[in-house]
Amino acid sequence: MSVTPSAALVACLSLIALTVCGGCAKTRPPERAQLARVRFENHTDLPWKISLSAGPGGVAEAGLADKALRLAPREIRVLEVGAGSYRVRALPEDTHASIDTWALAPEGEAVQLGAGLSYVWPLATLLSEGGAAR
């Protein structure tokens, strides 16, 4: 059986691609056992804006990008993020405000999220009425 030049070229390029992509494994997201689960529960009739960013000391693992989300009134959302140090910032959105309250908000809470652990982050205000999040 003879090898054609095009088959040899394909084999050579495949070998190069495998060699180069061998280093790509370091940028894969963390394994499920290395993740932390954060359950955000909105207990208000207001939408909330939430961000998770690298905290003090940073999150050194690959694939742990900053997260930003918006929760609708009474919504529950679960995020899985890589274990590590984060700064969590949550603020109710005031649809009637004439200023950008997000820009004036404090930096957020510094938290350490452990691998394989679950956390609940309830969102409420002093004026929130009872009622379960959905």
Q: Which pTM does this prediction carry?
A: 0.65
* Higher-pLDDT residue of 17, 95: 95
Residue 81 lies in a domain: yes
Contact indicator for 92, 47 with CB cutoff of 8 Å: yes
C-alpha–C-alpha distance, residues 62 and 82, integer Å:
9
Residue 39 — very low, low, confident or very high, per pLDDT cuts 50/70/90? very high
What's the pLDDT score for residue 83? Answer: 87
Q: Given a cut of 80, is residue 132 above it in pLDDT?
A: no
**Locate tokens 């061998």: which residue?**
22
Q: What is the mean pLDDT of residues 66-70?
A: 85
Count of domains forming the chain? 1
pLDDT single digits (tens) 24-36: 444 455 566 689 9
Give the integer Cα–Cα distance in Å for 68 and 49.
Answer: 8
Within a 13 Å sphere around the CA of 111, how many CA atoms are in the beta-carbon half? Answer: 21
Q: According to the 3-state scheme, what is the secondary structure of the chain? A: CCCCHHHHHHHHHHHHHHHHHHHHHHHCCCCHHHEEEEEEEECCCCCEEEEEEECCCCCCCCCCCCEEEEECCCCEEEEEEECEEEEEEEEECCCCCCCCHHHHCCCCEEEEECCCCEEEEEECCCCCCCCCCC
* Domain limits for position 56: 32-123
So what's the pLDDT on residue 10? 43
Per-residue pLDDT band for 122 (boundaries 50, 70, 90) equals: very high
Q: Is residue 90 part of a domain?
A: yes
CA–CA gap between residue 91 and residue 13 (Å, rounded) = 51
Name the percent of the chain lying above pLDDT 70.
Answer: 54
Residue 82 lies in a domain: yes
Q: Is residue 13 part of a domain?
A: no
Q: Sorting pLDDT into bands at 50, 70 and 90, what band is 60?
A: very low
- Domain containing residue 100: CATH number: 2.60.40.1120
The predicted-structure confidence for 85-121, as pLDDT tens digits, reads as follows 888 888 888 766 555 666 666 778 888 999 999 999 9
